[in-house]
């Protein structure tokens, strides 16, 4: 007679659950991503037994504003530093976005647009060396612009975004300076909706009106006067956002950034595709250096 092993120890393992660091919900011990907020559970394991929980920040903008390229380049610059402000990635998953951005740009491409579904988002968990004080740990999800647009149009339609944004201690809101300079008001409307949304989020901790928000004019290679005076540029080209900031935000700063020195366009299989002309980061570190010490 054949015997079949019961392996009941396997069932016993499932009795142990894992509480997600981001949303606090329980998951099976062998899950890869949280089934509620879709954050990698590796984050939770990395943080377990740590005395100080990491800080969290969001980068928000409409699709195609340069969030993924920005995050990839700023990670690369900080990782090359020596001493204060040097970045060390925590966990292999934290290298994915950085590697994709750097590999694509060096091969003459821009990285792919971020997946709408949060199961496909990259997360960066890193440690930044401090000058005098102890290192700071930060978590940054690469949020899809399309998902954020949907959440702004219909609040609570993307529950994971609501969860993530409650947890963040600050944010960078990107506005495409090239589009603004051409008189396109779409980045202005997105940013002003974003500020209203954040200031109305119910939070147990201090609200978004006092959390730090960096207003970042991305792709400023296409609008050089944004570099001269980002605040003045925003006031002129994005008046809606400007008034919303004055009304709702207490801790805000203005920056202009560019990761490449211009873009060329070509037809590939019938579609118009953008190619970076030269990777020439400008002003990318300043928003992060302002934001991180202020995150709570």
Ligand X SMILES: Nc1nc2c(ncn2[C@@H]2O[C@H](COP(=O)(O)OP(=O)(O)OP(=O)(O)O)[C@@H](O)[C@H]2O)c(=O)[nH]1
Sites of contact with Zn ion (CB under 5 A)? 20, 22-23, 34, 36-37, 39
CA atoms of 195 and 43, how far apart (whole Å): 28
Looking only at residues 203 through 222 of this chain, which bind ligand X when binding is defined by CB under 6 A? Answer: 219, 221-222
| Interacting partner of 22 out of ligand X, Mg ion, Zn ion, none (Cβ under 5 to 8 A depending on kind) | Zn ion
Shorter beta-carbon distance to ligand X: residue 28 or 274: 274
CB atoms within 10 A of CB 42: 17
* Contact indicator for 117, 29 with CB cutoff of 8 Å: no
Give the nearest distance from C-beta 173 to ligand X in angstroms: 12
Helix, coil or strand: residue 33: strand
Nearer to ligand X among residue 71 and residue 126 (C-beta): 71
Distance CA 89, CA 124 (A): 7
Q: How far apart are CA 177 and CA 257, in angstroms?
A: 9
Cα 241 → chain centroid: 20
Smallest distance, Zn ion to C-beta of residue 43, A: 9
The C-alpha torsion from 290 through 41 and 26 to 29, rounded to 10°, is -160
State which of residues 145, 169, 187, 283 lies at the interface with ligand X (CB under 6 A).
145
**Contact indicator for 76, 106 with CB cutoff of 8 Å:** no
- Minimum gap (Å) between residue 61 Cβ and Mg ion: 9
Which lies closer to Zn ion via its Cβ, residue 38 or residue 193? 38
Residue closer to Zn ion by CB (options 164, 174) is: 164
Cα 222 from Cα 113, distance rounded (Å): 20
CB 60 within 8 A of CB 173: yes
Interacting residues toward Mg ion by CB under 5 A = 67-68, 114
68 binds ligand X, rule: CB under 6 A: yes
Half-sphere exposure of 190 (CA within 13 A, CB side): 24
Binding segment for ligand X among 23-31, 63-71, 124-132, 225-233 (CB under 6 A)? 63-71
Give the shortest CB-23-to-ligand X separation in angstroms: 22
From candidates 65, 75, 94, 158, binder to ligand X by CB under 6 A: 65
Least separation in angstroms between residue 70's CB and Mg ion is 9
Beta-carbon count within 10 A of 6 CB: 8
Least distance from Mg ion to the Cβ atom of residue 164, Å: 15
Interacting residues toward ligand X by CB under 6 A: 61, 63-69, 110-111, 113-114, 144-145, 219, 221-222, 258-260, 262-263, 274
């Amino acid at each position: 007679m054949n015997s079949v092993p019961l392996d009941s120890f396997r069932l016993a393992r499932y009795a142990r659950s894992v509480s997600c660091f981001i949303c606090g919900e329980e998951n099976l011990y062998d899950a890869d991503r949280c089934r509620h907020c879709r954050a990698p559970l590796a984050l939770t394991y990395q943080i377990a037994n740590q005395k100080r929980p990491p800080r969290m920040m969001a980068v928000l903008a409409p699709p195609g504003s340069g969030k993924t390229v920005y995050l990839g380049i700023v990670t690369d610059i900080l990782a090359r530093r020596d001493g204060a402000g040097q970045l060390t990635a925590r966990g292999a998953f934290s290298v994915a976005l950085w590697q994709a951005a750097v590999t694509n740009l060096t091969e003459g491409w821009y990285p792919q647009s971020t997946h709408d579904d949060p199961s496909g988002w990259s997360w960066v968990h890193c440690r930044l060396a401090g000058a005098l004080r102890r290192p700071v740990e930060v978590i940054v999800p690469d949020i899809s612009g399309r998902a954020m647009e949907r959440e702004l149009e219909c609040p609570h339609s993307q529950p994971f975004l609501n969860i993530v944004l409650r947890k963040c201690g600050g944010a960078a809101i990107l506005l495409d300076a090239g589009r603004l300079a051409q008189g396109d008001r779409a980045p202005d409307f997105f940013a002003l909706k974003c500020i209203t949304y954040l200031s109305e989020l119910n939070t147990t901790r201090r609200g978004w009106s006092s959390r730090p928000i960096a207003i970042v004019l991305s792709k400023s290679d296409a609008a050089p006067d944004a570099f001269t005076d980002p605040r003045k540029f925003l006031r002129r080209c994005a008046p809606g956002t400007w008034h919303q900031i004055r009304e709702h935000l207490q801790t805000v700063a203005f920056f202009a950034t560019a990761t490449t020195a211009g873009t060329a366009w070509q037809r590939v299989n019938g579609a118009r595709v953008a190619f970076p002309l030269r990777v020439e980061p400008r002003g990318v570190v300043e928003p992060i250096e302002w934001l991180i010490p202020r995150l709570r």
